[in-house]
Structure 1
């Protein structure tokens, strides 16, 4: 079986290899010259061989990983103009994007919400809703590991894990500038520069700068963001390398929605507004600031043993003035009346420190090579949420549609008070081993042991909890014939939850089991086709019930019924299969995509989480014609089956729909290229989410033009 090793060659072995190929005069180099050569070799080879540790932490490639793994490379991200994570996620097999509001989004896989977002393998797996528009310009690729992920996160959520792989310096000086203009006054500029800092190349740096301003198909909505990312890596000695960097993303949105337009009338009929309709007031905004400083130390102890220590310090700030609309007796179908206003002002601060220490190695036994991975991760996250009570704005709203964003004036705000706080500690010990039983059969075994503690409060209710848990992992790959792998994996599910139940008590952990089996076939040019069958059994999964103030009384004015989001624990079983393919079909065509089929049932055998599509298709098809090497084109296809949500007023349904997009790029010369990108070419009208009884419409036909200069 062909393995993809993650260790850089030792400087001594590389020096011997180079020496064997040199002339007699080269063999007479001075000791100082030899040392200089060795110094250069370590960091240069490390950059070339840099591989993400993947789903098991063992550095296996997709073919040898006993789970479903999708990777979107930087070239694909750039070609399809996937400038933010929402647009990127929408094009990945098995991943669904649930945009419930303009600036808050859920992501799910295999029926469950994704809670683990890692950067270079480090992160804390908490939070199922993501705020803001995270830019993708600082990442060289993004990995999507579907299925239970306890080995790399410490907690066995059955959806999967997203791992963003940061751009790093290269061995040569390179630079690029991208200038984009598009519909709805979209203007974007990206500058990306990488250069060695020393003659030997032992130290190098890279910087990425982004600025974007754009409006929207939605009335009043606009967004601008600025990104800076800088990283330096180098060699401290023959065996020790270091990397340190900083990223800063400032994301500002105006005319935002808190909630969205109602999707159903009181008589049970579904609303049908124009795609531009919104309930936002023109004074609303939602601003986020993400700042991350990180450092990594790698020590090549021997040719077969490497120690890595990573530290990430993340500062997150969130400021918003929002306007929510709701109804008491429903929305009248004839007049559009029945809605009430509820303004809110909030700030949030989060400070996260993650320190991960990892020992990776390989050894020979029984005439075969085996690999292992051991680690200790210490993480702490402190948050503080401030609430400013509105002194006005709780108004009876006019009939919808027809609002212009000035129906309710910006309120005066009461002094701030701390509405909630958390202090989360997540310490874990983890390990995994790939054991080569035969040349064709390999076992992957591992476990993660977690010590979790949360001291917190939400509007006066305690969310504090302390738990210990573990997530064992067992997998195998069997190359039943050349380039055909049969694989399987099993993992426990252990996911602490910070949600409150109807008694204002912590809901407790979700627990269960996750299974996956499949086949992976590798063809010429490393074109990979995989078929996966999966099953998940989960108990005590959070399910939203209602908002309330904890007193059990429905107040006449509803002004204090939004203090708490209340949940109950439910049992959900998920079953399905995925067919996925990726790689070069031939000299002209490159394909990436797949088909997912899913069923979800609760403890009564009824359909669960029906706002998630049961069948989805994703396809990215790139064409580079041999008859014109300067021309490149691509087609994107997304299709999903019907979704629905049963509410007190009736069923809200979004019928199945498909979206077609693509790009055409012409490379005038080695430096200049021009690209046209199109989205939703057929101008399909669809609702982004039916997770609740409020939502908004997805983008109509969109287009952009990008001029790129490479040095």
Structure 2
């Protein structure tokens, strides 16, 4: 029986799974409550005590987890106006962004691309390019688990996993409205309302609505998005809690780039264009639509055992008309000539169904209490891509720069043809245990087994593969002295890859090993300092080679050489260290930030993936002065070292080291009304969004906004 049939035949599954695991404190408190009060206490307390599955699936906090974990809460997201995942990721320790185009983004950590994006612990970990601006208003926090993540994704990707934790109803009525106006005609409105549905509070609902419209420092570019999110949770018995919800995310971009501005001339000189420069035409657009229906049930079997089941149905669509520029002999520095045009029209649909089931609990043996989790995750993702050939627009372009967007008229398009399709089934079976060896020593043991099947094609070439593999996990934490935890962890890497090699055949899986060791020290007020040493050895990792149409002929005008994107497998070793701080430093200051130092080498010992910075520093410092409780402020700092890439035949593109400073200030007039001012890149630093390829665009100049906030 397929997942679609299960979904259609079993309505009860729409109620399966709630992320409402009770802590030991909660369990003890409920055991002393009168029987008639149990149902009220359980749902209210589970909302308060809701724990993330974290890096191991065991609900461990950052201090107890034998890996590096960063958590950004919703108040930080709101204070610094981190309205989309790009702006959020920019401020997280060890996370880097490559913005090679306006609407497609790569994220990486510890030298490798992040391919695992989860929501409430569920996700299909495939794809390294993320399209559109995903809004953050519907999340109460975002977790970044760096390093190999085999226990929670089953695939051991060495970069890490991002887990978005959706907002849930609160115990009391609460409402907030934010109205923002900013540079480049930014207008943003957010409404967030949570309310109990019953007098006892056992049922409650929450809704979030977002509208944003913004232009850009890039000529022609603008973005409009609308988000609607709703969720209801409650109890259907003394032991069963239910959550159902739905999110709608409509993102529309215009004047966007496919590829971007060339960064090197044919004579090897690096280009230096104004920050507003673009290669877009005025008819280009890229629209994306994400719809996610989810349902969860948690069955509180007894004080030591909880069963959770979660069902997610994700429907994704995109439509675009794009314009790409390329060259044969390169861009001439004297004349600005040498660029050629390549229009394209594309549509894509992804339909994904994920069913996660976990049994989590405690058991006693050897006179000590231990925790465990056993899980089964079944995922089915079906994708379809259609392309429409342009009947015109393959033009020799005029001198660059200075284009207005009218150089090439919108083409007539041929009937759409199927560019590719895929039916991916990913079933994983996993278990983990935290064994309490002594009062100070815990072992974390686990592993997962993966059954992966992909039936698909790309322009007639088969991408079909069938594989299975395992990712064992071993870790420990040793609290040598009070509030000082030493830890280490190991995991195999096993990552199926859907790319084609130069023989136009599936590249196969990447595999290897990942190690991490470190120490975490916890102070008063839960201020945490951590030091992590890491090493990753990965083989058959995909690396882009170029485009080809498969006919073996290098066509002079390249007009039919973009059929296949081809990759080769490389061997890469990554090692380095991270220092991170998080939490309240004292009554007035709170910090989130850290330093990452990275080294990457290829098989022959040469530098690898040089577009990734070897040193980065991130810091968010919040200040709440006791001398004026109505005033709050914060400073953001992010810095990265030099990056570069070698082009084919023209030389090196370099981005020197740079730092960006931003911040916010807010004033609370009364319990309901406050004013917030945000500024980013205060020093108006000039920098490139990436050097991953020969084309990119400039990062944002100084940006600012003002927000009026009502709390009800």
Structure 2 equivalent of residue 559 of structure 1: 559
**Contact 1:181–1:187 (CA under 8 A) maintained in structure 2:** yes
In structure 2, the CA distance between the partners of 1:561 and 1:197, relative to structure 1 (3 Å rule), is: same
In structure 2, the CA distance between the partners of 1:397 and 1:524, relative to structure 1 (3 Å rule), is: same
The yes-or-no answer on 1:437 pairing with 2:452 is no
**Contact 2:387–2:417 (CA under 8 A) maintained in structure 1:** yes
The yes-or-no answer on 1:117 pairing with 2:132 is no
Distance apart, 1:454 and its partner CA: 0.1
Output one character per residue of 1:279-310: Cα deviation in whole Å (capped at 9) or x when no partner: 00000000000000000010000101000000
**Contact 2:542–2:568 (CA under 8 A) maintained in structure 1:** yes
**Contact 1:344–1:388 (CA under 8 A) maintained in structure 2:** yes
Q: TM-score, normalised by structure 1?
A: 0.96
Distance apart, 1:15 and its partner CA: 5.5
Distance apart, 1:7 and its partner CA: 2.1
How is 1:122-161 mapped onto 2 (pairs within 5 angstroms)? 122-161=122-161
Structure 1 equivalent of residue 16 of structure 2: none
Distance apart, 1:366 and its partner CA: 1.8
Structure 2 equivalent of residue 691 of structure 1: 692
Structure 1 equivalent of residue 357 of structure 2: 357
Distance apart, 1:218 and its partner CA: 0.1
Distance 2:694 2:28 in 1: 64
**Contact 2:55–2:149 (CA under 8 A) maintained in structure 1:** yes
The yes-or-no answer on 1:107 pairing with 2:122 is no
Structure 2 equivalent of residue 592 of structure 1: 592
Structure 2 equivalent of residue 674 of structure 1: 675
Distance 2:558 2:585 in 1: 59
Partner SS for 1:661: strand
The yes-or-no answer on 1:7 pairing with 2:22 is yes
Distance 1:454 1:129 in 2: 19
Structure 1 equivalent of residue 334 of structure 2: 334
Distance 1:402 1:697 in 2: 15
Distance 2:432 2:114 in 1: 23
The yes-or-no answer on 1:646 pairing with 2:661 is no
Structure 1 equivalent of residue 709 of structure 2: 708
Distance apart, 1:552 and its partner CA: 2.0
In structure 2, the CA distance between the partners of 1:224 and 1:363, relative to structure 1 (3 Å rule), is: same
Structure 1 equivalent of residue 375 of structure 2: 375
**Contact 2:21–2:46 (CA under 8 A) maintained in structure 1:** no
Structure 2 equivalent of residue 397 of structure 1: 397
**Contact 1:314–1:352 (CA under 8 A) maintained in structure 2:** yes
In structure 2, the CA distance between the partners of 1:192 and 1:91, relative to structure 1 (3 Å rule), is: same
Structure 1 equivalent of residue 454 of structure 2: 454
| The one of 28, 32, 36 aligned to 1:17 | 32
Structure 2 equivalent of residue 665 of structure 1: 666
Partner SS for 1:390: coil
Partner SS for 1:230: strand
In structure 2, the CA distance between the partners of 1:160 and 1:41, relative to structure 1 (3 Å rule), is: same
**Contact 1:8–1:45 (CA under 8 A) maintained in structure 2:** no
**Contact 2:328–2:556 (CA under 8 A) maintained in structure 1:** no
Aligned length: 692
**Contact 1:11–1:238 (CA under 8 A) maintained in structure 2:** no
Distance apart, 1:167 and its partner CA: 0.1
Structure 2 equivalent of residue 25 of structure 1: none
Structure 2 equivalent of residue 23 of structure 1: none
Structure 1 equivalent of residue 178 of structure 2: 178
Distance apart, 1:11 and its partner CA: 9.3
Distance apart, 1:367 and its partner CA: 2.1
Partner SS for 2:414: strand
How is 1:35-114 mapped onto 2 (pairs within 5 angstroms)? 35=36, 37-114=37-114
**Contact 2:422–2:456 (CA under 8 A) maintained in structure 1:** yes
**Contact 2:27–2:303 (CA under 8 A) maintained in structure 1:** no
Partner SS for 2:44: helix
In structure 2, the CA distance between the partners of 1:10 and 1:234, relative to structure 1 (3 Å rule), is: farther
Distance 2:401 2:171 in 1: 57
Partner SS for 1:151: helix
Distance apart, 1:220 and its partner CA: 0.1
The yes-or-no answer on 1:574 pairing with 2:581 is no
Distance 1:449 1:413 in 2: 46
Structure 1 equivalent of residue 4 of structure 2: none
Output one character per residue of 1:428-482: Cα deviation in whole Å (capped at 9) or x when no partner: 1000000011110010000010000000000111000000101000000000000
Distance 1:477 1:10 in 2: 22
Structure 2 equivalent of residue 284 of structure 1: 284
Distance 2:618 2:23 in 1: 35
Distance 1:125 1:703 in 2: 35
Distance apart, 1:17 and its partner CA: 2.4
How is 1:292-371 mapped onto 2 (pairs within 5 angstroms)? 292-371=292-371
In structure 2, the CA distance between the partners of 1:316 and 1:687, relative to structure 1 (3 Å rule), is: same
In structure 2, the CA distance between the partners of 1:550 and 1:443, relative to structure 1 (3 Å rule), is: same
Distance 2:63 2:26 in 1: 29
Distance 2:344 2:203 in 1: 49
Partner SS for 2:152: helix
Structure 2 equivalent of residue 196 of structure 1: 196
Output one character per residue of 1:62-107: Cα deviation in whole Å (capped at 9) or x when no partner: 0000000000000000000000000000000000011110000000
Distance apart, 1:45 and its partner CA: 1.0
Partner SS for 2:189: strand
> Which consecutive segments of 4 or more residues in structure 1 shift more than 3 A?
8-16
Distance 2:416 2:244 in 1: 37
Distance 2:695 2:173 in 1: 50
Distance 1:13 1:236 in 2: 22
In structure 2, the CA distance between the partners of 1:339 and 1:524, relative to structure 1 (3 Å rule), is: same
Distance 2:280 2:314 in 1: 31
Distance 1:268 1:283 in 2: 32
Partner SS for 1:64: coil
Q: TM-score, normalised by structure 2?
A: 0.96
Partner SS for 2:389: strand
Distance 1:12 1:116 in 2: 33
Distance 1:365 1:673 in 2: 54
Distance apart, 1:371 and its partner CA: 0.2
CA RMSD of aligned residues (A): 1.1
Distance 2:188 2:202 in 1: 33
**Contact 1:261–1:277 (CA under 8 A) maintained in structure 2:** yes
**Contact 2:260–2:696 (CA under 8 A) maintained in structure 1:** yes
Distance apart, 1:10 and its partner CA: 10
Structure 1 equivalent of residue 219 of structure 2: 219
Distance apart, 1:6 and its partner CA: 4.6
**Contact 2:684–2:702 (CA under 8 A) maintained in structure 1:** yes
Distance apart, 1:342 and its partner CA: 0.1
Structure 2 equivalent of residue 26 of structure 1: none
Give structure 1 stretches of 5+ with no counterpart: 20-33
In structure 2, the CA distance between the partners of 1:6 and 1:246, relative to structure 1 (3 Å rule), is: closer
548-557 or 595-604: which moved more?
548-557
Distance 2:110 2:426 in 1: 25
Distance 2:619 2:26 in 1: 43
Output one character per residue of 1:544-601: Cα deviation in whole Å (capped at 9) or x when no partner: 0111111221112211000111000000000100000000000000001000000000
Distance 2:79 2:285 in 1: 31
In structure 2, the CA distance between the partners of 1:701 and 1:162, relative to structure 1 (3 Å rule), is: same
Distance 1:624 1:11 in 2: 31
Structure 1 equivalent of residue 11 of structure 2: none
